Amino acid sequence: MPGIYITLRKWIVPSERSTLVSIAFSGSCIAEVCCYPLSTWIATSSSLGGWPMSYYTYSSICALFVIICIAFIYDDPVDDPYVSTKEVEYLKGFQLEVQNKDVPVPWCDIFTSTAVWSIIVAQTSFSSSYLFILTEGPSYLLTLGFTTIHIAVLTSIPSILEFMVSLLSGAAADVIIRREYLNVLNTRKFIMILHMGIPGICLFCIGYFENHAAECVVLLTVAFASGGMYTGTFTNIMEITKEHSQIIVGIVTSTAGVVGFIYPLILGGLIKEDNTANQWSLMFRIIAAVHIFAMIFFLIFAKAEQQEWSHGNITKTRDEIIQHYTLR
């Protein structure tokens, strides 16, 4: 993911930032949609050799994509032979021109920046809960009486919805900003209210429907299909720093992965030897409380402009870039 940001910062213009970031990362949703039923089919097929074949399948697909990336993806539009000179000049107009290319990473400024921490807290909250539901969700669906085949289908539905919502929210955010319905910062905050607030409410309400499987599945699906993290936190990273966006996303994703072990430990302490819907309801309310806290933290501390520590010595000012964008 950090490598994607190194490329995106030279290919994305402000008026399309939300849309293109959402498109770039929505591929993970498609992968989840394909992998759940495909893995189930491979694992239950004796003619294919069972579950080991799923590893060979996905590793082969990864190798294919690596070849495609090496052949067709370029870090800079200037190096891409398939891009016209006119488009290269247009994209270069939005790139910050730094006098010193070897500016050291401002680690202290990064780790003391409230803007960075607002992204870390919000993204860690959602990613850790999302990882939790990916790994532990099937166990919850078993308590509701679903079979293995049903679980494979149900667990792919949130990813389908997340893919659609992420693309729609990205395009909508760009329209809102271009037409000045909201400024950039308030647009990000609005997206995060929907992205964190709605899942928090859904997860909290599951406890009231713990004996109704259909209602629980609907609430769980809506909670993890909001699709706003790409339009919210992932896009906001590029707004507070372009030069060090890959470092920020590396910190954010690493933190989310490390913290992800906490929820399974809490669940293990709650269910112990039992595995009831009531215990799961309490677990979901804990996650809901964390969601709401993360949303409030983001609303208070988030920023949407390049930070002073972001780019070192700049020869092109922000006003010049805005003027270029306006003229275009």
Q: What is the CATH number of the domain that holds 234?
A: 1.20.1250.20
What pLDDT, in 10s, does the model give residues 84-141? 888 888 888 776 554 445 668 889 999 999 999 999 999 888 888 888 887 787 778 7
Mean of the pLDDT values across residues 165-174?
90
Query: Could you tell me the pLDDT band of residue 312, with boundaries at 50, 70 and 90?
Result: low
Alpha carbon 24 to its chain centroid, in Å, reads 10
Is 33 among the domain residues? yes
Is 319 among the domain residues? no
Beta-strand runs (E) in the chain: none
The answer to whether 155 touches 137, Cβ cutoff 8 Å, is yes
Q: What are the CA-CA distances from residue 140 to residues 146, 151, 267, 278 (Å)? A: 9, 10, 11, 11
Number of domains in the chain: 1
Q: What is the extent of the structural domain holding 170? A: 2-86+109-312
One-letter amino acid identity for 133? I
Q: What are the CA-CA distances from residue 94 to residues 14, 90, 97 (Å)? A: 8, 7, 9
Mean of the pLDDT values across residues 291-318?
79
Mean pLDDT of the chain: 82
What pLDDT, in 10s, does the model give residues 218-233? 888 888 777 678 888 8
What pLDDT, in 10s, does the model give residues 156-167? 788 888 888 888
Cα separation, 97 vs 315, whole angstroms: 6
Is 193 among the domain residues? yes
Is 260 among the domain residues? yes
pTM for the full model?
A: 0.82
Is 318 among the domain residues? no
Mean of the pLDDT values across residues 147-160?
76
For the chain, percent helix, then strand, then coil, each to nearest 5? Answer: 75, 0, 25
pLDDT score for 138: 78
Maximum mean pLDDT: which of 44-48, 137-141, 199-203, 295-299: 295-299
Mean of the pLDDT values across residues 196-225?
84
Is 216 among the domain residues? yes
Is 177 among the domain residues? yes
Is 13 among the domain residues? yes
Please list, residue by residue across 100-122, b when 16 or more beta carbons sit within 10 angstroms of its beta carbon and e when fewer do: eeeeeebeeebeebebbbbbbbb
